[in-house]
Amino acid sequence: MFMRLLVCGCALMALIVPAAGEELSPVRTLESPPDFFPAATQFSPVPSGKGWKGEEGPLSEEILRDTIDTIREHGFTGLEGPTHRPPEEEAYILNYAQSRGMFISWHAGGIENFGRDTPPAPCVYSPEYAKTVRAIAEERLKPLAAMPRLYNVFPYQDEPFTGGEKSFGYNDEVKAEFKKRYGYDLPPDLNSLREEPQKWRDVLEFRTSKFPDGWRQVYPILKEILPGPKMTLTHDSHNTFGAGVGSNAEIAIDDVYHWGGDFADMFVFDIYPYMMFDFRFGECSKLPKPRISQTHYAFAHMRNLASHHGKDLGFWVGTYNPAWFDQYLCPELQAKHWSEREMSTTAVAAGANYLLTGYKIPVDAGHWASLGKGLQLIQKTGGRLLKAPKVKANACMLFPRTQYIQLQEEFFNVGLSFELFLRAFGELDLIHEDQITDDQLEGYPLLVLFDVKLLPKTAAERIAGFVRRGGVVIADCVPQLDELRQPLETMKELFGVRQAATERIHRTGCWVPYRKAAPYWFSRPDNAPDESRHLSDAIKAGEINLSTDIPVVSPRACVVSKAEVLGRLASEVPALMHHKIGKGQVFLLGFCVQDTYFRMWQEDNPVAREALRSVVASLPPKAGIQAHVYSSNADIEASLRANDHEGFLFVINHEASSLETVVRVQELSFSIGRIIDLANNASVEFERKEAVVEVKMTVPLGETRLLSLLPEKK
């Protein structure tokens, strides 16, 4: 969120003193978990309703109250502090909000003393580091100890990532720590190691570790000073999800799961796919469709991080406000009044248990009204939604960290492949390479490998063991390099091929679509590759049960040894292969899914997109695997949160041309007996087909639906 918000202790102490002349209800405690959905915003002008309209100068207590009341009426249950109003007004604002049952989120600034572009000072391996951090923490956090209804605090650097080699330190403490961990002297520069895979990996692992090495010292200090509120860390929208190389981070080095999650109570995810750009590479960034793909992909990273460590997950909701990336605002975006509602509901459907606007209330009345309707709908769940996590999918997609580090290739455009499988199957989680600790794959029955061409030997052997004991793998690429970039045989045997191509279009730079200034390419090299030069092919009608031809980009030829060829491209290259091994089986697509799917969006070819979706959708059932939830309309999302006695079905229109869909829900841990539309508390008709419940729905553009799934009344 690029905010650095500090406040002095004397102003904070004023917050617990009731404002003169005003009787405020003493609603001072905060249940855990709360009996409402935590959604916070900044105290800022409201475009409609009673309250502050942005006029300069002091604000009366009446205007302050009216503004808070209007914010509450729009479904917000919390306020962000500091408010950046005069101390007397801030005291009244927060006291009145607390008296109305609202919670407080507080920004304390980066206490851990980090920076993206310079080494920490003092070094995290210095005995002075913890002392320095403690002094900062005591100054900023101690005054918060008496604040009522303080829900969470942001004490960490906003959106941390390694800003290239300039952020590397070479002092004595750094050198000593490296030698202690790896047994040899820290090399004096990075470039000299590019042809030494082991040292290259060691150095990058060490350099990215400075963040968690610092956070693990900071967190106990924070909790000692302020044990109650949730210590919250915001993670960035691309650098730590496979898009750092060739972007702000310059090199592939950081990722959120590898860092860990034992140094915060809540992780908040930050991405803005409607209001600006979503950090894809090359031509994919010029046409960010399907618009929701990078949100789903990056959210899967964050959900995996939070769920694995048992932490809360939140989301920054971008708003139509000139205080936030003014250069992108335009009539086209203003007309998309549903964008905040769509994104906030999508986040909650994906597992978020906390929302915070970033930044401020929308300045447009249409955006404000739509967001309010969406939040009011979510608030109808009360605190019950917080006790119903997103249902674990029956499929997961691998994030290959070692490949990202060793090959220094972006692994973010693969969000297109993630999105296609999600739309085809109905649900999809992400599993990190570090989680492949045995052949159980955390209980997932199906593993998806998109554009994975390098795997550590142990990970490859465990995946092979997963298949032999009954697991299923679907892939568009065969990993044939190990962690030291040496030939890997394990996966060729698993897929029943002797060799297989792994090429995809090399894309560079990120298109920044300014509207009030000239758009430009960010971080695009002068010798950027020509993305229009690539191999093309097609799957002809009749192959793989297709009723129409579909174009293919970046075909991947292979030499088949044991696999069964289920269909071929026009060039006779295998388009789909199947191999049974042990009790399990694998499917291999003979082309790059992300390149192929993106071209179908570039050429506005919905027939081909739907045909490709049908091909992918046909594979899991062949192995007897079904999703918990599925939407027949690819542009209308269906997502499921549930516990052992209640479920919530989110149905969200993502700019669908057709407004109709049929949503299928597999029976949960309870038999679904009633479905209630929370918008009007009306019963929803459904059909039961064996263990599946089907609901036919109409979801207008800009609308989100939220259904309560309940067991039969006893």
Q: What's the pLDDT score for residue 29? A: 65
Q: What's the pLDDT score for residue 408? A: 97
SS3 per residue for 293-325: HHHHHHHHHHHHHHHHHCCEEEEEECCCCCCCC
Mean pLDDT for the chain overall: 94
Average pLDDT over residues 336-350: 97
Q: What's the pLDDT score for residue 599? A: 98
Give the DSSP H/E element, type plus range, for residue 694: strand 692-698
Query: DSSP letters along 24-67, please?
Result: --------SS-SS--EEE-S---SSSSS--S-SS---HHHHHHH
260's CB contacts (< 8 A; 6+ apart) are 212, 309
Q: What's the pLDDT score for residue 667? A: 84
The closest of 509, 658, 597, 592 to 290, measured between CA atoms, is 597
Is there a contact between 343 and 385 (Cβ–Cβ < 8 Å)? Answer: no
Q: How far apart are CA 627 and CA 668, in angstroms?
A: 11
pLDDT of residue 12 exceeding 70: no
Q: What's the pLDDT score for residue 712? A: 86
| Residue 307 structure tokens | 């769920």
pLDDT of residue 31 exceeding 80: no
Beta-carbon-side half-sphere exposure of residue 193 (alpha carbons within 13 Å)? 17
Q: What's the pLDDT score for residue 16? A: 37
What percent of the chain has pLDDT above 90?
A: 90
All structural domains of the chain: 9-387 (3.20.20.80), 396-622 (3.40.50.880), 629-711 (2.60.40.1180)
Q: What's the pLDDT score for residue 88? A: 97
pLDDT digits (tens, 9 = 90+) for 101-144: 999 999 999 999 998 989 999 999 999 999 999 999 999 999 99
Average pLDDT over residues 567-579: 97
pLDDT band of 28, cuts 50, 70, 90: low
Alpha-carbon distances, residue 357 vs 80, 95, 354, 423, 593 (angstroms)? 9, 21, 10, 28, 34
Q: How far apart are CA 140 and CA 418, in angstroms?
A: 42
| Residue 618 structure tokens | 């046909």
pLDDT digits (tens, 9 = 90+) for 138-181: 999 999 999 999 999 999 999 999 999 999 999 999 999 999 99
| Residue 13 structure tokens | 């102490």
pLDDT of residue 219 exceeding 50: yes
pLDDT of residue 336 exceeding 70: yes
Max Cα distance, the chain (Å): 85
Q: How far apart are CA 325 and CA 33, in angstroms?
A: 34
pLDDT digits (tens, 9 = 90+) for 483-538: 999 999 999 999 999 999 999 999 999 999 999 999 999 999 999 999 999 999 99
pLDDT of residue 274 exceeding 90: no
pLDDT band of 275, cuts 50, 70, 90: confident
